[in-house]
Amino acid sequence: MKKLFMHFALALAVLAMPAMAQADTIFGWNLDLGAYGTVNNIEFLSATGDGTIYQQLSSTPTPTNPGFGPGDAFDVVSLIYTVSYTPVGGTSTPLYLTKDSGATIDQLFFYSDNLTGIITGSSATDFSYEYTGGDIGMYIGNKDSIGTATMLATLSLTTGIGDARTSTPGDGTYEQSDTDITALFDANPLETLISFTPTDAGLAAAYPWLDTFLKFDFDNALRAIAPGSGAGGTTVFEVGSDARITLVATPEPSTFLILGFGLLGLVGFRRKFKKA
């Protein structure tokens, strides 16, 4: 019996591993935007926008040293808005959101003013970074008037990494920058804001009790608009971004535990039955 429980404890440990390690990209999901209608059979959304990075400096910038290095912190304000979606097996389709018989044209957009991170490596021509915290709001309405837009959901950062490269060291521009961010919906959006066919994703047993994420794959360009002068200062970068947004889902850890305890109950019942 002791051996049985040891094997079961090991199985539970595997099942209860961090959610994102077992995540599945969802193809063919639907987005219910209320009065704006429903966008169906989505493979991914395409978005564009801009932002501002406030990068702390630990030294004086030079042509061979950007002035920041491993451990130096940064803050980000970012807004991106969807311009199109690509259905599964289809081609990119413009995403026009209208209501009031077409009198109002709005955007689905994502805004954050509290993303934080640190530099993980740097050289004269490139640097890498990691996001450490923050959340992202999902809105519908006028992107130029966030206060009047409707918030559809909030998402908390779970992972975020990236790198940036320049061909002209010292001029404050980084023509290429790639960022991958994954953020978890704070409230379960399934069967309200988002839906999909769980059997298509092999998640039928757990639907709708899933942890649901959006994954943002960014292509960026950075330009220093307020270069810092030395240690303790801040370099401000203007960021232009294009993004590809996909849906990711995985069973919640509690779902795995319930399944595991259910299996334990079946094992115990079988042993009792055999003794009888």
**Residue ranges of the chain whose pLDDT lies below 70:** 1-22, 100-103, 254-276
Q: How far apart are CA 83 and CA 109, in angstroms?
A: 9
Over the stretch 91-105, which tens digit does the pLDDT of each residue have? 999 998 887 666 678
Those residues whose C-beta lies under 8 Å from the C-beta of residue 95, and which sit 6 or more positions away, are 39, 45, 82, 83, 84, 85, 108
Q: How far apart are CA 88 and CA 27, in angstroms?
A: 7
Tell me the pLDDT of the chain averaged across its residues.
Answer: 87
Domain segments of the chain as ranges: 24-252
118 neighbors 76 (Cβ within 8 angstroms): no
Radius of gyration of the chain measured on its C-alpha atoms: 23
pTM across the whole model: 0.85
Over the stretch 221-254, which tens digit does the pLDDT of each residue have? 999 999 999 999 999 999 999 999 999 999 977 5
